[in-house]
Every structure is written in C-alpha cells, then in structure tokens.
Amino acid sequence: MHDHHDHDNELDEMTARVRALETVLVEKGLIDPAAVDAIIDTYENKVGPRNGASVVAKAWSDPDFADWLRRDATEAIASMGFEGRQGEHMHAVFNTPETHNLVVCTLCSCYPWPVLGLPPAWYKAPDYRARAVREPRAVLAEFGVTLAPDTQIQVWDSTAELRYLVIPERPAGTEGLNAAALADLVTRDSMIGCGVAKRPGAT
C-alpha cells in the first residue's frame, strides 16, 4: 500500500491551502516571508541533516554500529534518538570504491525526515526524479561528483514504505578525528548520494 505522498503538484489541496495561509499571514503583517524561508533553510540544510551526519560518523568509527545499520537501519538509527514519521522503515546503503549509491523518489518525494530533515526543492523536481534513474552519471556530474568509470551506480527508489540513507565513504586522512569532527565532513547531499563527504580542511 502506498499511502503517503508529498506530491509536488502545486495544485494539490494541501499545497494550495498552505500557500493561501502564508499569503494571508504575510498580508496581515503577521509573518515575514524571509523568516519563513530562513526556517525552511534551517530544516533543509542545518538541523535535519546533522542527525544523519551523526549516524554516518558513528558508522565510520564503530564497526559494530555499522553492522547494525546494515542489518536493521531503522533500529540502529532509532537507538540514537532519530525516529518518527517518514523514518519508520529505513535502509542504509554503503558506498564503496566499487559501488556508489544514489537515492531518488521517482513517484513523488519520499525522504527520511528524521535523519535528513526536509527534502530540498530539487529532490522533489520532476527533472531529478526522472534523470536520476535514466542518466545517474550525468546527474552526479552536475552535482560535481565524478566517479571512476568502473564504479557502478546503484539507484534506490524511495517509497512510502522504505527510505534510504547513503553512508558515504570515509575520507582519507580522518583517522584521528572524533565523532563531531567526522560529522562535520558529512554533507546532506552525500547522504542522498549526490555528493561525497568532505575532506578534512576543505571548506
């Protein structure tokens, strides 16, 4: 059963209601649209993905936890306090030199909220949803990710039932870093598969 979808169709009822409500509140001077944008940015880019980054950092530094993530990502992630709506059934996919994982929701915009926050606009766009499947290597290149020609790309199609978290490869030169420093290297995009983890010292 495919019971939930966050359709990106602007005419859907919930979007129309939210737009109307926002318009009225702005017109009455009750909210500042820039403040709304700042809040969305916070949940898309800052608060949300920091949860996932701490999961990745733990997987990098604790082999038992990494095994647990492979076996039962939902439970392993919940053990860190990250659970709830849109994260009930998680699957962690680990990048290796042989295989790069990329996540999409071809049908709509299913996304693991407890670990990544709100999906970015491009994740919900028809262009990404179609092209991630048809030409993933070209899409990755546009995100600045160039893989070795013999690296396979595995594309995972999210559904209401199953959400994916990409565990990017641990960058070289990170042996001495603690969990917080490791988490700082983990970008949101790297956990969708549209990026790689930063190297230490990179901006």
| Contacting positions for Fe ion (CB under 5 A) | 105, 107-108, 110
Catalytic site residue from 54, 61, 79, 108: 108
Is 158 annotated as catalytic?
Answer: no
Distance from C-alpha of 12 to C-alpha of 57, rounded to nearest angstrom:
38
According to DSSP, residue 64 is labeled H
Taking the complex as a whole, the smallest distance from the CB of residue 156 to Fe ion amounts, in Å, to 12
Catalytic site residue from 54, 79, 110, 190: 110
Q: What residues contact residue 9 under an 8 Å CB cut-off, 6+ apart?
A: 15
Taking the complex as a whole, the smallest distance from the CB of residue 108 to Fe ion amounts, in Å, to 3
The beta strands (E) that lie in the chain are given as 90-94, 99-104, 152-157, 163-167
Q: In the bound complex, which residue of the shown chain has the CB atom lying closest to Fe ion?
A: 110
Nearer to Fe ion, 129 or 170 (CB): 129
Taking the complex as a whole, the smallest distance from the CB of residue 158 to Fe ion amounts, in Å, to 6
| Crossing angle for the helix pair 13-27 and 33-41, to the nearest 10 degrees | 130
Nearer to Fe ion, 44 or 170 (CB): 44
Please name which of 107, 71, 87, 79 lies closest in space to residue 191, comparing C-alpha atoms. 87
Catalytic site residue from 54, 61, 79, 109: 109
Is 109 annotated as catalytic?
Answer: yes
Is 108 annotated as catalytic?
Answer: yes
Please report which helix (H) or strand (E) contains residue 54, including its range: helix 47-61
Please name which of 111, 143, 115 lies closest in space to residue 124, comparing C-alpha atoms. 111
Nearer to Fe ion, 2 or 46 (CB): 2
Helix count (H) and strand count (E) of the chain?
Answer: 11, 4
Catalytic site residue from 54, 61, 79, 105: 105
Taking the complex as a whole, the smallest distance from the CB of residue 105 to Fe ion amounts, in Å, to 4
Is 194 annotated as catalytic?
Answer: no
- Tell me the catalytic residues: 105, 108-110
